[in-house]
Chain A
Amino acid sequence: MNAAAKVLAGCKPMTRREIAARLADDIPEGWYVNLGIGAPLQVADYVPAEREVIFQSENGVLGMGPAPAPENINRWLINAGKQYVTLRPGGSYMHHADSFALIRGGHLDLCVLGAFQVAENGDIANWSTSDNESAPAVGGAMDLAAGTPRLWVLMEHTTKTGESRLVRRCSYPLTAIGVVKRVYTNLAVIDMTNEGFAVRDMVPGLTLDALQSVTDAPLRMA
């Protein structure tokens, strides 16, 4: 059993959906939020409808609602992940230059992205795992990461083979430098500070030493 497996055996890691729910708890009413494609999109499911949080999709939708019932699909209304969505009352559309002006201009309160790696200096790598893959495809990741004042990352704490995703320096191609503010993993919630990673909370049964044993970058309690 490797170190990661031993640590995980001693506690109950969160599922993707549990991480999304944990993150959703920290989004207050009134925030404008962009959720990245993939696991971050699930965060919206855990913000109760009575707490008004306004979701943006970078393809020009502000005030995005949940997926429609099959009989109510608007075939011209998709999100950035190219899934059918709805528009909430009060929602609006804009073109791509305005949508990214909104993002780059720092008007969103929060962006949540997935990542391959986050470094202790706030760097994020989430768009490419190698310099020799097929065609490079960045989408809106770099604009969102560089443009949003508050970037939270939602990801597994380690890779499938047990390597830490919280690192001293990213080895994968960077998406943006020095931008991550907080990381939500299946094991812990960790803030980015001027002194590196600071653990806010951990799943029950986990100790800082155990968490450190599966984390490359140094950790301290917040």
Chain B
Amino acid sequence: MINKIVKDMAEAMAGIRDGSVVLIGGFGSIGQPNVLIGGLIEQGAKDLTVVANNSGVGHVGLAALLETGRVRKIICSFPRTADPVVFEKLWREGRIELECVPQGTMAERMRAAGAGIPAFFTPTAVGTKLAAGKEEREINGRRYILEEALPGDVALVEAWEADRWGNLTYKSSARNFNPVMAAAAKLTIVQTQHIVELGTLDAEKVVTPGIYVNRVLHVPYGEPTVT
């Protein structure tokens, strides 16, 4: 019997190695798997590269992970959400590397990784300083730059419902990067508000099919706070 539901956090985080590229879902705090981030802090892997849209708020969740000093580099589109105190301090002190990527390019680089596409041409950022050093090509009279796929070793994902095969649904705009990251990592770990019996999710409404998911942890944490 396939059962991807793990019994505790230690089992969820087992085997995450130093130097991993960790994709972390969420747009701000909405859809961000903060309990799994806490588990990663506890687990202790270091020298990490984190891919996330924002860089954490206050001293919780992603910011708490950065504060441990175990993140070597962050790849994100907008490291300036309200109160990015931890990131700002690390960045000013030169203790974290930042790769600022346009939001749609970041999403597409991960989608490509999950879809077996090693690189793609995009019009986004052509002629700007974020295109510096990138291969440019004119196709049908328009300029494009080459962007490479962005695969993860690990993805931390927040879902709304999950079954034991790892089929997932999401809640409203908490979907955001989560399905893209689930497909782009070798090891996809999910925290879910609800566990449901296999066969009860409407097959027409499953957003992430279980093939992309390795481990599911039941985390009925209630409501998020917007940050």
Considering the complex, give the chain A residue whose CB is closest to the CB of B158.
A76
Note all chain B residues with C-beta closer than 8 A to A67: none
- Check B102–A140 contact: CB distance below 8 A: yes
Interface size on A, residues (CB 8 A): 45
- Check B88–A95 contact: CB distance below 8 A: no
- Check B104–A103 contact: CB distance below 8 A: yes
Kindly state the separation between the CA atoms of A59 and B106 in the bound complex, as whole angstroms: 13
What does DSSP make chain A's interface, helix, strand, loop or mixed? Answer: loop
- Check B107–A137 contact: CB distance below 8 A: no
Kindly state the separation between the CA atoms of A173 and B129 in the bound complex, as whole angstroms: 7
User: What distance in Å separates the Cβ of B125 from its nearest Cβ neighbour in chain A?
Assistant: 5
Interface centre among A104, A138, A177 (most CB of B within 10 A): A138
Interface flags for A78-112 (1: CB within 8 Å of B; 0: not) read: 11101110010000011111011101100000000
Considering the complex, give the chain A residue whose CB is closest to the CB of B101.
A138
- Check B175–A146 contact: CB distance below 8 A: no
Interface centre among B82, B91, B128, B225 (most CB of A within 10 A): B128
Note all chain A residues with C-beta closer than 8 A to B55: 135
What does DSSP make chain B's interface, helix, strand, loop or mixed? Answer: loop
Interface positions of B from 168 to 186, Cβ below 8 Å from A: 170-180
User: What distance in Å separates the Cβ of B154 from its nearest Cβ neighbour in chain A?
Assistant: 18
Note all chain A residues with C-beta closer than 8 A to B103: 58, 96, 100, 138-140, 143
Find A176's partner among B53, B87, B128 (CB 8 Å cutoff).
Answer: B128
- Check A75–B226 contact: CB distance below 8 A: yes
A174 at the interface (CB under 8 A from B): yes
Kindly state the separation between the CA atoms of A47 and B77 in the bound complex, as whole angstroms: 30
Note all chain B residues with C-beta closer than 8 A to A95: 107, 175-180, 207
Kindly state the separation between the CA atoms of A57 and B225 in the bound complex, as whole angstroms: 19
User: What distance in Å separates the Cβ of A14 from its nearest Cβ neighbour in chain B?
Assistant: 29
User: What distance in Å separates the Cβ of A180 from its nearest Cβ neighbour in chain B?
Assistant: 13
Considering the complex, give the chain B residue whose CB is closest to the CB of A106.
B123
Pairs A–B under 8 Å by Cβ, sample size 5 = A57-B173, A84-B226, A134-B91, A142-B104, A143-B124
Report the 8 A-B pairs with minimum CB-CB distance, sorted nearest first.
Answer: A100-B104, A143-B104, A177-B127, A97-B111, A76-B172, A140-B103, A96-B107, A137-B80
